[in-house]
Amino acid sequence: MPLWIPIAFLAVILWVIGNLIDKHLIEHFRNDADSDTDANTLFMFSSLFAVPTALFALFMGANFRIDQLNILLGISAGLLNGIYLLLYLHALAKTELSRIAPVFQSIPVFTAIFGWIFLHEVLTQTQLIAGAFLIVGATILSYHKSTSKFMLLPVVYILIASAAIALQVTLFKAAALDTSFWTGMFWSSIGLIVFGLGVYAYNTRSRVHINAVFAKRNYKLIGLNLFNELIDNAAMFIFLFATLLGPIALVQTVHAYHPVILLIVTTIAMKLGFKSLKEDVSQGALIQKVGGLAFVCIGSALIYIPLI
């Protein structure tokens, strides 16, 4: 077995762990504030931890360059990263993790669309069909039997977040290729910090909430957020390392297993008594989730199989 396979899967498992911690933190905050405040508070933690990332990138960037266009591209990538994080957390506060995570498989579809719009690349019929399967799967996952309603708003949030990620990667790559990886990382981190300061300045309830966390010196909560950020960053660096060991296209296909692993882990966790995840693991709900996930997997296969 090529070494890049277990390394790439390790990154995916770390991302799953990060997802579980995000949901746990959302439910923890829910006891103190409304779900919108919960999501905004967690987002501000993420933007706060972008400060050491920016400093580290500045330290590592031996050939650091200042160029207006690349600064704009890098900061724009950071702002898009902020949009992704904020919408993801708001979606997470409104529904189950296993219902929204599969929708992130739409990222390659948006990447293809942006390539078609900005780079005049060919948008194939297979990519369009894959997008249709992903939308159908996401719609199935959005249905809640308990209320007999489709909760489409979290799905829309994740679709917009996926589009933001796809565009962010494009802008970050443009900035990094023209300067250096660390220069692009620095300005991207600055963009995320600016976005976080914007939320802090204009959202009174969330500002009061995060101030209270630090005023009460809730080190356990602060430490868990820091641990979560470290896991997410470790996953990213491990995944990038895997791309150095194997073909990038093949390594990227491992992402398709993320929602499957997440559904298995959340189901087992709920069966073992981890109720903070708030997952519906009844027989009917599991059948529905597997059905929706099947459509998502078909869409993912249509995207990734041509790369193999």
**Tens digits of residue pLDDT in 179-211:** 666 777 788 889 999 999 998 888 888 788 788
Average of per-residue pLDDT values in the chain: 81
Classify residue 123 as exposed, middle or buried by CB count within 10 Å of its CB (0-12, 13-18, 19+). middle
**Interval 111-162: pLDDT, tens:** 778 777 776 777 788 888 888 898 899 889 888 877 777 888 998 999 999 8
**Packed helices 219-245 and 204-215: angle between N→C axes, nearest 10 degrees:** 100
Q: What share of the chain is helix, strand, coil (3-state, %, to 5)?
A: 85, 0, 15
Domain count within the chain: 1
Count CB-CB contacts under 10 A for residue 163. 21
Give the mean pLDDT of 242-268. 79
User: What does the pLDDT read at residue 272?
Assistant: 85
Where does the pLDDT of residue 17 fall: very low under 50, low under 70, confident under 90, or very high at 90 and above? very high
pLDDT at 13: 92
pLDDT, one tens digit per residue, over 61-105 is 656 566 777 788 778 888 998 999 999 999 988 888 889 988 888
**Structural domain boundaries enclosing 229:** 4-307
Question: How large a percentage of the chain has pLDDT more than 90?
Answer: 11
